[in-house]
Amino acid sequence: MIRICKYLSKAEWGQLFVGLLLIVAQIWFNLELPDYMADITRLVETPGSEMHDVWVAGGKMLAVSLGAVICMALTGLITARVGASFSRRLRSLEFERVESFGPAEMNRFSTASLITRSTNDITQIQMFVTMGLMLLVQSPIMAVWAVCKIAGKGFDWTIATGVAVVILLVAVAVLMAMVMPKFKAMQALTDNINRVSRENLTGLRVVRAYNAERYQEAKFDKANDELTGTQLFTNRAMSVMMPLMNTVMNGLMLAVYWIGAYLIDAAGMMDKLTLFSNMVVFSSYSVQVIMSFLMMSMVFVLWPRADVSAKRILEVLDTEPTVTDGERTDGAKDAAGRELRGEVEFRNVGFTYPDSREPMLEHVSFKAEPGQTVAFIGSTGSGKSTLVNLVPRFYDVTEGQVLVDGVDVRDYTLTALRDKIGYVPQRSVMFKGTVAGNVAYGDKTGIGNAGANGNTASAESVRAAIDVARAGEFVDKMPRGIDSDIAQGGSNVSGGQKQRLSIARAVWRHPEILVFDDSFSALDFRTDREVREALAKECADSTKLIVAQRIGTIMHADRIVVLDDGHVVGQGTHRELLDNCEVYREIAESQLSESELAA
């Protein structure tokens, strides 16, 4: 918990310091009250006392009480403000850090866990800063100050207070030893219930199709019962704290009065008034001591979960992405001094996933000239998607080099590299918004302003990208055309429609390099052909890297790279590979008729 405090700003530290001063002032006011109470008691018990003196002492006591209330209110206001601003900063920092993660880092944290860490865990931190931090500071100061105040006012009373404090410390230590492991488990169980809920909601159609509602309910009930059982255990254990505190406090008060009665009975007439006054003061101060430990028990309720949450948040913030920025923002130049645009080269590339021992790619070499279409085909698991994911640096190669415009991709800044690329993933992703907003994605200021590459996200440019992707046939039928709403996850459009909008998104950027990671699989043959023809015409100056399963999608590519078990087993045109690459010929024979093979 202490480590996460480094993310507090200077202004917040300043506010906390002011809060500390207010806490000290509040404690001083609270500890002055028994003295005024003793004065009033002495005045009432002393014959011949003036009522005016009682009113004066009472007025001072009221002023001190108001001072304590004002200090408490201001302290609560400050800590609430600091807690809100601190949690806001932590959420922003965590979001920014997660955005910098590549697939390697994302594999360390599940999606459900990251959601919990940015919501529930940060809420625990906010609660502790708002409530626990004040109590953590206030309790020990009040306890020590109160003990100093009662020191020397009665040995017997001091012994009784000491015994009460020891009982409380032992009880708190035992309870903390019992509940701390459960608090640590509670956050992991919260991750688990989020994971089950998320799986059920995202896979709702599959659940219904297989009549697996009862099965999913059983999974949820198990996760729910585990979390509930843990929470009940901790709540039951901590519920012992309050009655124990009250019992000890009432027992101490009884002991103070019993000892006081004994001492007063045994004292002479002159000492009775002094002893009675001391008993009143001591009983008040002893209550303050016990109240300090009562407040400390509240800290012990908040601290364990906040501490676990802080560690979980720091795990995310301390995770450094393996893919880091280079320094280049531009490509190399050719022999004529012109800057290269759209050239991609793999030089003896090898790649192994971080959690794997076996390499996924080995000794991959090829070159895509500017404006060319280079396709990749092979069996499932041969490394096609892995290969194209190395171009935008979702992963970094473990051997060899990937060069874009003659420069190693690791030397580029990530922004400069990815601004050169239009990427269409295997699984099309739509964001809640409009059709235009999804196509002109990355345009920070909205339709009508400069986009990622300086192009303008006007309705005309969005419309042109939609036409290239052959998405106009369904966009025009929507209620408001390109301004029609897209639901979260694109649930109101089909798989093929999402795929075409994803292609339009990549085309809108007018990138140097277009990467299609099996991005035509949901399209029918006619639409597939029309989209490829439109891409060849409208994006002729862009280098196109296409991963495909269908021979028909890639047979007209300038170069086809055939992969088998992570190795390049053939390169060339469709006709060349039919003649000299057995793997490619087997794939072609499984998909094409004899007449198509002979064509």
Tell me, letter by letter, the H, E, C secondary structure of 543-574: EEEEECCCHHHHCCCCEEEEEECCEEEEEECH
- Residue 344's DSSP bridge partners are 368, 404
Out of 165-179, 316-330, 364-378, 519-533, least confident range: 165-179
Average pLDDT of the chain, as a whole number: 85
User: According to the model, what pLDDT value does residue 449 have?
Assistant: 41
Residue 383's contacts (CB-CB under 8 Å, 6 or more residues apart) are: 351, 360, 361, 364, 563, 565, 566
- Helices 111-118/269-317 angle, 10° precision: 140
**pLDDT reading at 44 higher than 50:** yes
Does the structure show a pLDDT above 80 at 545?
yes
Q: What is the pLDDT of residues 186-197, one digit of tens each?
A: 877 888 888 888
pLDDT of residue 326 exceeding 50: yes
pLDDT band for position 470 (cuts 50, 70, 90): very high
Residue 583 has which token pair? 């793997």
The long-range contacts involving 424-427, CB below 8 angstroms and separated by at least 24 positions, are 424/499, 424/502, 424/503, 424/505, 424/506, 424/514, 424/515, 424/516, 424/517, 424/519, 425/502, 425/517, 425/519, 426/385, 426/517, 426/518, 426/519, 426/521
Mean pLDDT of 268-276: 63
pLDDT digit string, tens, across residues 12-40? 999 999 998 998 898 888 877 777 776 67
Between residues 333 and 17, which one has the greater pLDDT? Answer: 17
599 — pLDDT class (breaks 50, 70, 90): low
What does the pLDDT average to over 266-287? 69
Average pLDDT in the 212-235 region? 90
Average pLDDT over residues 69-93: 93
| Dihedral sign, Cα of residue 505, residue 509, residue 510, residue 511 | negative
Going by pLDDT thresholds of 50, 70 and 90, the confidence category of residue 451 is very low
Please give the average per-residue pLDDT across 145-167, as a whole number.
76
pLDDT digits (tens, 9 = 90+) for 55-75: 887 888 888 889 989 998 999
What was the pLDDT predicted at 444? 54
- Complete DSSP assignment for 487-554: -GGGTTS-HHHHHHHHHHHHHHT--SEEEEESTTTTS-HHHHHHHHHHHHHHTTTSEEEEE-S-HHHH
> What is the Cα–Cα distance from 211 to 483, expressed in whole angstroms?
37
Range with lowest mean pLDDT among 39-53, 461-475, 484-498: 39-53
pLDDT band for 559, please (50, 70, 90 cuts).
very high
Q: What is the Cα–Cα distance from 158 to 408, expressed in whole angstroms?
A: 76
Question: Which of these ranges, 4-8, 41-45, 117-121, 275-279, has the smallest mean pLDDT?
Answer: 41-45
pLDDT of residue 321: 87
If 0-12 CB within 10 Å is exposed, 13-18 middle and 19+ buried, where does residue 294 land?
buried
**3-state secondary structure labels for all residues of 393-428:** CCCCCCEEEEEECCEEHHHECHHHHHHCEEEECCCC
pLDDT of residue 285: 75
pLDDT at 453 exceeding the cut of 60: no
- Dist. CA 447–CA 454, nearest whole Å: 13
The per-residue pLDDT for 42 is 66
Q: Is the pLDDT of residue 235 over 70?
A: yes
Contacting residues for 90 by C-beta, under 8 A, at least 6 apart: 4, 7, 122, 125, 313
What is the residue-wise DSSP string for 110-128?
A: -HHHHHHHHTHHHHHHHHI
pLDDT band for position 512 (cuts 50, 70, 90): very high
pLDDT at 271 (0 to 100): 62
Helix (H), strand (E), coil (C) string for 358-371:
CCCEEEEEEEECCC
| Structure confidence at residue 166 (pLDDT) | 84
Please, where are the H alpha helices in 119-212?
120-127, 133-150, 155-202, 204-209
Whether the per-residue pLDDT at 487 is higher than 80: the answer is: yes
What is the arithmetic mean of pLDDT over 405-428?
Answer: 91
